[in-house]
Structures are given as structure tokens and as C-alpha cells.
Amino acid sequence: MFGERIPNALNKDQLIDWLEQVLQPVEPSRRFLRRLRARLVTYQGGRLPSGWLLVVAGGLILVIAVISLGIALRFLIGLLSLLGLGRETRRRRKKDMQPTTT
Amino acid sequence: MNKPQVDDLKLVRQAASDLDAFGELYERHVRRIYNYIYFRTGNHHDAEDLTARVFERALRHIPKFEDKGVPFSAWLYRIAHNLVANWHRDRSRRPVVPLDDRFLSKGGRNQPEAEAVSQEEQRLLLAAVHLLPSDRQQLLILKFVQRFSNAEIGQIMGRTEGAIKSLYHRTLNSLRDDLARILKEGIAKEDPEQAEKEEKPTGKEKPK
């Protein structure tokens, strides 16, 4: 099997030739190279966001919170006024049905 | 390695704020780093995983890169070397490295004479290479796969050119011994009679 490369006869030059033949560069898959490049060039996770980015993000969160609170309050007021309106209507009907004494 | 080093350093400075500059550095070095890791791990799956980690780490730390006269590629090789060392430690399987058949079968595409080397012989040699200590494996990969000079290897490994030269000769000697041992063990397993003949020469061989 290893007739030409009997250990005792293997000299340094033969070993170097053998290494040159076997240790040949390989080509990574193009898909892998493309995907990794895309991941690295669009990669943000590893870097700390800049100060301005933090200010903008904080401001945006604050605006969204205020808007949400406004909407929630409007909704609550609307609901309460509807309840009040219903109660008032029922009270009036009750009053109208009662006989009047003159 | 000297000419691109100048450009590399320029790109490294830009890469701290410009991802396209990092993309350019990636294109320049990814194949070599991949090859280094592939020959250290022995399979494409782990080579892809570790190559990705090398460049992610490089991207994270590139603003801290300092020019100390060592090329950027040496910095990348050092990251790769550390990750491969961790990989071996995690798996505790340093001597057993299954090599992808894809590589073994197409090894001779570029050089037709390489086709003559059988897959089994390639496996044998690579197995012997993987038995060597980590720094010696690194040296052989940088010399034969990457075709770097002793001076360039010295920069990457943080040693002098003379130290690399001496390490190279010691590596070849120890690789030769390992190969002899592996072959002897292999022959002894397959054919004990042949192994005995190899060990005790009859004296009938024709002189060269």
C-alpha cells in the first residue's frame, strides 16, 4: 500500500514533496462567503450604539408613551361619558313614567 | 505581505467607522483564515463556524487594533488560533480529525501529479500532522497551504525567522518519526508477518 513511502526510506525531501501534494488550499463555498459577508457588513449587534442613537431612541420611546397615554385617556373619558349618558337616559325615562300630581 | 499591509492598516483605521472597509478586509483574508481553520479542524462545517466567529470577533475589536508593526493578518491568525485551541479543548478530540472526503478526492485538481497520491496516503499524512503539537501544525499549514516565508510565519507566530527555521526542521523530523510509527502500527495490524519482515531486514535487498 505504501510501497514507495516505506518509513525507513522516507527522506526529508520526499516528505516535503508529499506535504506539498497533500496540503493544498481548499476553496470555501461561495454561499458561505456571501452570507458571512452580508452578516458582517450589516452587523450591528456587537457594537455599542452611539450617544445620539440613544438620545433619539429615548425620545422616540417617550413620544410613543405620551401618545399612547393620550389615546388611553380619551378612550376612558369616552367610555365614562357613554355610561353617564345611559344612566341619565334611564333616569329621565323613569321620571317621565311616574304620574304627575297637580 | 508587506505591500498589502500598508493598505490593510489604512483599511483597519477606516473599518472602525466604515463597514465597507471591513468588507474589503474580509474579502482579502477570509480564504486564508478559512484554510487555516479547515486544516486544523479537518471538516468544512467547523471551519465555516469558526471562520465566522473569527471575523465577528475581529469586527468587534477592530477599533482597539494597534499598529505594533505586526500585519493585520497576523492579528486574524491569532484570533483563529485561539478559537481553534478552544475548539479542541471543548471537544477533547485533538488526535482524531475526520477529513472531509470532498477535499481528499479533489486534492490533485490543481496539480495532476497529486492525483497519484492515494486518498489513504493523504489520510495517513494528515493524521500524522494532526498528532503534532499545535504550533507545529500551525507552522506546516502556514508554510505549505498558505505558502508564507519563514519571516512572514515568524510575524504571525511571534517568533524570529531563525526560530521558525529551526522549528520547521524539528517538525519534519518528528513528523517522519510519527509516520514511521503509524505505518508500523498499521502494517502490524493488517499483516503481522510483513511487519516482522520490515523490522528484521533479511540482507537480501539489492543495493541502491
Angstrom distance (rounded) from CA A81 to CA B154:
83
Chain B interface includes A98 (CB < 8 A)? no
B 153-192: CB under 8 A from A: 172, 175-176, 179-180, 183-184
ipTM associated with this complex: 0.72
pLDDT tens string, chain B, 208 residues long: the values are 545 555 888 888 888 788 888 888 999 999 999 999 999 998 899 999 999 999 999 998 888 888 888 889 999 999 999 999 999 888 875 555 555 554 454 444 455 555 555 677 888 888 889 889 999 999 999 999 999 999 999 999 999 999 999 999 999 999 998 888 887 776 666 666 655 555 554 444 444 3
- Chain B contacts of A14, Cβ < 8 Å? none
- The verdict on a CB contact (< 8 Å) between B56 and A18 is no
pTM above 0.80, yes or no: no
Return the sign of the alpha-carbon dihedral for residues B34, B35, B38, B39: negative
- In 3D, which of A11, A88, A76 has the Cα closest to residue B176? A11
